Amino acid sequence: MSAEEIGPRDMVLLTDLYELKMVQACWREGLTEEAVFSLHYRSLPASRSFMLSCGLHDALTYLEELRFDEDHLAWLSTVDGLLPEFIRWLREFRFTGGVRALPEGTPVFPHEPLLEVRAPLPEAQLVESYVMNQVHYQTVVASKAIRVVHAAAGRPVVDFGLRRMHGSDAALKGARAFHIAGVAATSNVLAGRIYGIPITGTMAHSYIQAHDDELAAFREFAGFYPATVLLVDTYDTLAGVRKVVALSRELGAAFKVHGVRLDSGDLAELARETRRLLDEAGLRRVQIFASGGLDENSIADLVASGAPIDAFGVGTRMGVSEDAPDLDMAYKLVSYAGRPRLKTSPGKHLLPGSKQVFRVEHAGRATHDVLALQGEDVAGRPLLVPVMAEGKRLPSADPGPSLSRERARREIALLPERLLRNAPPSEPFPVSPSPALVRLDHSVTRELSGDRGSRGSGRRQ
């Protein structure tokens, strides 16, 4: 099998080997009772005040379609340590469990589950790697894109990230996450096709360069695409703008050019000069687009400077979430066989039990979250909802990117204003464990110390 033959059905093998080793061990031991795993993150990157949940759609699709075909099984039988009877058992392997999750487009804080998987232990274990691969990345880039969209303060942002995002899957899933976060359009044709996201794009420098004369290139391109955006910085930005003006005089009423794009240099200064040149020529309706290494900080500076820029093209720095390309996310067992579980590794303490997140609002703004046990009766709006039962997604679980985008807009508007400034907030958003969760954590920790004491610390020094 080569990389060129890989398709979605092969994602069942996109797992860490230890998942298969553990699943085989659990199966042989009969550790097949119900487990609950929580997918959450432990701390916010320094430059984030919240994360936006994303990636649930792909996690659910994977869970629904998960199965090993004969080709996979034949190959797995060559892996050291996997037994023939286990390989036979994998033939019937399906995900039959349930999932509760934050709908895509929900602001989420440290230790709050983005999703909880409830299934027989082998099923819930095997799916860890791929589910996290999808939810982690999409949450990371949706959370970055929110910042870019906020910085643009109402001006459209277009995703130009495809070429420098991390591989083909990132380019697709990222475009979808950006859309949910409020990005207006993408340059990515396949993402447009799959997700119905508006696609946009006009010209690169190479088109200009291939002509002996920049004005001739503009004339030809505007002939084919009258309402296009012309890229003016190939040689000298303001000279390029003057050629657009010259073209407008040539064409008269036939000049329909929608805008010019600045892609290098001092964008604020060039935008002001460009606006002046265009306005002097009576081209007030010709817009100015800016691109070139932009992120939320440079966009905020441009907006604050009053630069007359109408829209932003944002590529790499948003596409890889350059300042925070990953999140300390974990998928952890919180309950097995009806008993809450935790771990106490330094810096990685895990709260036990299946949970619910309650968002408490006052006067139209969220004041704090309560992290409670599932089933607890706490004031506030519960955020985790059932999205899959018996291995099938629930119809309401997955409303698609457009409705998730609406949800994101609505949910973010409920956050305290201090979280929306793209600067470290004066105080973080408070998330407190419920009294019942604290009690459970104490009692399980105590019990565990007892276990360790009775069984393991005879040699403790």
Of the pair 325, 433, the CB lying nearest a copy of itself is at 325
Enumerate residues 325-344 that contact a copy of itself by CB under 8 A.
325-329, 331-333, 336-337, 341-344
- The structure tokens 């935008």 sit at 271
Of the pair 149, 232, the CB lying nearest a copy of itself is at 232
* Residue 374 half-sphere exposure toward CB, CA atoms < 13 A: 22
Q: Which stretch binds a copy of itself (CB under 8 A): 88-96, 215-223, 367-375, 391-399?
A: 215-223
Of the pair 326, 406, the CB lying nearest a copy of itself is at 326
Q: Which stretch binds a copy of itself (CB under 8 A): 29-37, 96-104, 354-362, 419-427?
A: 29-37
Contacts of 347 (CB under 8 A, 6+ apart): none
Closest CA to 139 of 168, 181, 98: 181
Strand 98-101 relative to strand 385-389, pairing = antiparallel
- Other Cβ atoms less than 10 A from the Cβ of 338: the count is 8
Site string for a copy of itself, 284-303 (x = CB under 8 A): ---------x----------
Residues 142 and 411: their CA atoms lie apart, in Å, by 14
The residue within the footprint of a copy of itself, chosen from 73, 89, 132, 374 (CB under 8 A), is 132
Is residue 282 close enough to count as binding a copy of itself by CB under 8 A? no
Report the interhelical angle of 167-181 vs 128-152 (nearest 10°): 50
3 state DSSP class of 13: helix
The residue within the footprint of a copy of itself, chosen from 77, 297, 305, 316 (CB under 8 A), is 316
Closest CA to 63 of 389, 374, 384, 355: 389
- Name the minimum Å distance from CB 104 to a copy of itself: 14
- Name the minimum Å distance from CB 120 to a copy of itself: 11
Of the pair 7, 395, the CB lying nearest a copy of itself is at 7
Of the pair 228, 287, the CB lying nearest a copy of itself is at 228
- Name the minimum Å distance from CB 166 to a copy of itself: 4
Q: Which stretch binds a copy of itself (CB under 8 A): 94-102, 198-206, 252-260, 371-379?
A: 198-206
Is residue 199 close enough to count as binding a copy of itself by CB under 8 A? yes
Q: Which stretch binds a copy of itself (CB under 8 A): 46-54, 191-199, 384-392, 402-410?
A: 191-199
* Residue 138 half-sphere exposure toward CB, CA atoms < 13 A: 26
Is residue 366 close enough to count as binding a copy of itself by CB under 8 A? no
Residues 293 and 315: their CA atoms lie apart, in Å, by 7
Residues 356 and 431: their CA atoms lie apart, in Å, by 12
Enumerate residues 62-101 that contact a copy of itself by CB under 8 A.
65, 75, 79, 81
- Name the minimum Å distance from CB 372 to a copy of itself: 21
Is residue 348 close enough to count as binding a copy of itself by CB under 8 A? yes
If you write DSSP's letter for every residue of 232-254 in order, what string do you get?
A: --SS-HHHHHHHHHHHHHHHGGG
Please name the amino acid found at residue 20. L
The residue within the footprint of a copy of itself, chosen from 109, 137, 312, 358 (CB under 8 A), is 137
Residue 250, phi then psi, degrees to nearest 5: -60, -45
Residues shown for the chain:
461
The residue within the footprint of a copy of itself, chosen from 110, 265, 380, 433 (CB under 8 A), is 265
The residue within the footprint of a copy of itself, chosen from 153, 239, 304, 414 (CB under 8 A), is 239
Of the pair 236, 427, the CB lying nearest a copy of itself is at 236
Closest CA to 33 of 118, 98, 121: 121
Is residue 169 close enough to count as binding a copy of itself by CB under 8 A? yes
Is residue 202 close enough to count as binding a copy of itself by CB under 8 A? yes
3 state DSSP class of 80: coil
Structure tokens at 385: 């909802």
Residues 235 and 244: their CA atoms lie apart, in Å, by 14
- Name the minimum Å distance from CB 58 to a copy of itself: 7
Strand 287-290 relative to strand 259-262, pairing = parallel
Q: Which stretch binds a copy of itself (CB under 8 A): 91-99, 251-259, 319-327, 355-363?
A: 319-327
